Structure 1
Amino acid sequence: MGIEKKDIEEVAADLKGAFEEFKKKNDKELDGIKAEKGKLSEQVDKINEKMSELDNLKTELEKELKAAKRPGLAKGKEVDEHKAAFNQFIRKGSDENLAELQQKAVQLAVDEDGGYAAPEELDKNLLEILRKDNVMREECGSILISASGYKKLVNLGGAGSGWVGETDARPETNTPTLKEIIATMGELYAKPKATQQSLDDMFFDVEQWLSSEVVIEFAEQESAAFLLGNGTNKPKGLLAHSLATTSDKNRPFGTLQNFKSGTAGSFTADNLIDLIYGLRKGYRNGAKFMMNGLTQMYVRKFKDDQGNYLWQPGLQMDQPSTLLGYGIAENEDMPDVAADANAVMFGNFKRTYSVVDRMGTRVLRDPYSAKPYVEFYTTKRVGGLLTDSNATKILTLSA
């Protein structure tokens, strides 16, 4: 049974009702006497959790509806032949003509360590599922490469300029400063296992099984790496880069700007406004907040001077919930609200950071190491790249 627009509208109606109930209870808690506050606080927290569930459910239903409408991948003779040969390799271990078909279909030679590249359709589906399961993939930029690494030149400015009269001599200008940035790459691996009996079953969907098993392992590893990874045999995460409180003009490229909340372990609505206006106007179009679910529950209680809640639920189709008018990317790998935590980010993440994928997920079939199971050593090369350190600001909960 498919997802329909009315399903999303029903969830939005439930979200609206929960938000109205939340406001009443929270307002009553703020105004209540001490004896009632403990009970009201518990009720407010439960409604807050319910709103998180409904908000996430609405977002997921919208994604599923869009995915159902998305056209399938175009196929050609070479792609179909490669897919059939790869399927035979997975099921039976036969690799007859697979290397040749692989090179025709995806322009990749056989890896020197052994194994074969997954068909283009499987590889792209794997990326789509990973994007759905990983908020950093969903929110950040994406670069697909065929080499083992990736480099890019960025212009840091510095070219001279000025005003001159119509007939005045034009002084020479400075040469723009260029900097080479390099993606930090790593190799992900997973080793799903299946029995030969299940592989022999013609009704067993080999591609679906392999992609689902691999995605579970890859998604867990990637999720933390793109945000917090230390860059050693893995991507260097966004929050792993250097931080400084200095402005864009005085901060070196590759260092992110952070704002201190003024109080260890907590922050206010004013701190969020500082983040928004600390980001230059050109970056604000497409900018979002990023925080985990508990922090989102924390900010739902914030009000402006007129008593209006700063968090507002998205009640229409494709309308996300907002904080101070901007969307929120919920990332459970973001730090909790605690002393010195970098608990909130605000920025244009597509301009800030890019996920770099090497084309081709490789599979090595091993029927010997884990008898009676057939093991599939599956590898994928992936990296991360900080592309613009001015495009995101970070709130650090410290004095």
Structure 2
Amino acid sequence: MLGAAAPAEGFGAFVRSGTTVETKAVAGTSDAGGGYAVPREIDAMIAATLKVASPIRAIAQVVRVGSAGYRKLVTSGATPSGWASEAGARPETATPTFNEIAPPMGELYANPAASQAMLDDAAFDVEAWLAGEIAGEFARAEGQAFVSGSGVDRPRGFLSYPAATTGDAARPFGTLQYLPSGAAADFGSDPENRLIDLVHALRGAYRQGACWVMNAQTAARIRKFKTADGAFLWMPGLSGGQPDTLLGYPVVEAGDMPDIAAGAAPIAFGNFKAGYLIAERAETQILRDPYSNKPFVHFYATRRVGGAVMNSEAIKLLKIAAA
């Protein structure tokens, strides 16, 4: 019998020698919904179009929390000091300002269903496939939220924060600094100098561990930039697993970053370990429910995650604008 309990070579024997093979008569509601998988001998490895998952989780600070009420204190400003003689007075110095960070959290969920007949008869492991599909979709959705999420029932992306051209000393806490590209809808006449300025807008302490974040289309433009003497700014990784570098800093390709367009910020540079916080309660939870909607088996998956900018001085943006 050809099905979940029968070896795949049974069909091969039929093809080679004409051996009769009994097939189960399983009704699928539609071909795309499962009918393709049941009555035909198919490749057990399911091909799928790849979904772009943002790598922000890999470069940000990730903490596990026990509840949705996670808070973190961040100080802005340093503690000033002063000089005094041996017997001189020591007046009171200023104290740092405490800022509370509360990453907005939301719950991702999915509730796909498969008929029991499909689970029994499909030529591949439907449960494992659904689990992989859910995990991949959750990674894609949370990655988009880390970049541009609104903060309403989901993480707040770093591009959704206010931005200004003022430096760290004069800019309000929670406002990112951006440098203009020099043109209203594209890079200006000296894009390589703008990138150098962006690097040095970040304080030296944050540049240890900093990286570039951009999408593939922007990276394709940047790879063609040269210095005045004809040297490329972009250096490809020399061995497997080594990232490409731009001006000596690794480049992280994030598909959720915007394209080059007027008013957009297609390039970010910063230390995301210091600048962006991801708070999650647990790994993805998947509940198998064969009872609520017989004869279908539901796979209810949830993941609770939040995100917010933790230090607005640690991330800089290049904005497509004349000034």
Normalising by the smaller structure, the TM-score range is 0.7 to 0.9
Question: What residue is the counterpart of 1:147 in the other structure?
Answer: 67
CA apart distance, 1:322: 1.3
Give the alignment partner of residue 225 of structure 2, picking from 278, 302, 307. 302
Give 1:169's aligned residue: 89
2:215 maps to 1:316: no
Q: How does 1:1-399 map to 2 (within 5 A)?
A: 133-157=53-77, 159-197=79-117, 208-267=128-187, 268-359=191-282, 361-367=284-290, 370-399=293-322
Give, in angstroms, the shift of residue 210 of structure 1.
4.8
Distance in 1, matches of 2:268 and 2:89, equals: 48
Query: How far apart, CA to CA, are the structure 2 residues paired with 1:178 and 1:319?
Result: 38
Q: Distance in 2 between matches of 1:147 and 1:323?
A: 39
TM-score by length of 1: 0.63
2 CA distance for matches of 1:313 and 1:342? Answer: 24
The alpha-carbon distance between structure 1 residues 206 and 169, as it changes in their structure 2 partners (threshold 3 A), is: farther
CA distance in 1, matches of 2:299, 2:127: 12
Contact map agreement 2:119 2:127 (CA 8 A) in 1: no
For residues 208 and 127 of structure 2, the distance between their equivalents in structure 1, rounded to whole angstroms, comes to 39
Distance 1:351 1:211 in 2: 32
Letter matched to residue 241 of structure 1: Y
Q: Percent same amino acid at aligned positions?
A: 50
* Cα separation, 2, equivalents of 1:214 and 1:322: 33
Deviation at 1:209, TM superposition (A): 3.6
Residues 131-162 of structure 1, C-alpha deviations (whole Å, 9 max, x = no match):
x9431111211111111231011111353421
Shift of 1:206: 7.7
- Which structure has the larger Rg over C-alpha atoms? 2
User: CA RMSD, aligned part only?
Assistant: 2.2
How far apart are the structure 1 equivalents of 2:243 and 2:204?
A: 21
Range with greater deviation from structure 2 (346-355 or 234-243): 346-355
Q: Which moved more, 1:332-341 or 1:188-197?
A: 188-197
Distance in 1, matches of 2:264 and 2:93, equals: 44
1:204 Cα deviation (Å)? 7.5
Which consecutive unaligned segments of at least 5 residues does structure 1 have? Answer: 1-131
Counterpart amino acid of residue 249 in structure 2: Y
Alpha-carbon separation, structure 2, partners of 1:160 and 1:348:
25
Encode CA deviations 1:177-228: one digit per residue, 9 max, x unaligned: 1111111100100113233346568x97687445303213212311211100
Structure 1 residues 143 and 307: CA distance shift in structure 2, 3 A:
same
> Aligned partners of 1:199, 1:150: CA distance in 2, in Å?
40
Verify the 8 A CA contact 2:54 2:144 in the aligned structure 1: no
SS in 1 for 2:197: helix
Q: Residues of 2 paired with 1:378 and 1:315: CA distance? A: 41
Using the alignment, how far apart are the partners of 2:127 and 2:69 within structure 1?
A: 28
Question: Does the CA contact (< 8 Å) of 2:113 and 2:299 recur in 1?
Answer: yes
Q: Which residue of 2 aligns with 1:123?
A: none
The superposition leaves residues 325-353 of structure 1 with CA deviations (integer Å, 9 ceiling, x where unpaired) of 11111111111111121111111111110
Change (3 A) 1:366 1:317: closer
For 1:358, give the aligned amino acid.
R
Highest relative contact order (Cα 8 Å, sep 6+), 1 or 2? 2
Contact 2:135 2:284 in 1 (8 A): no
Structure-2 separation of matches of 1:370 and 1:355: 36
C-alpha displacement at 1:171, in angstroms?
1.4
In the alignment, is the contact (CA less than 8 A) between 1:144 and 1:356 conserved in 2? yes
Larger proportion of helix: 1
Cα distance between partner residues in 2 of 1:155 and 1:228: 25
Q: Deviations over 1:301-333 (max 9, x none)?
A: 111111111112112234321111111111111
The code of the aligned residue for 1:289 comes to: W
> Separation in 1 of the partners of 2:280 and 2:125?
26
Larger displacement relative to structure 2 (368-377 or 271-280): 368-377
Q: Answer whether contact 1:140 1:353 (CA < 8 A) is retained.
A: yes
CA distance in 1, matches of 2:202, 2:110: 39
Cross-structure match for 1:9: none
Determine the C-alpha separation between the residues in 1 that align with 2:202 and 2:298: 49
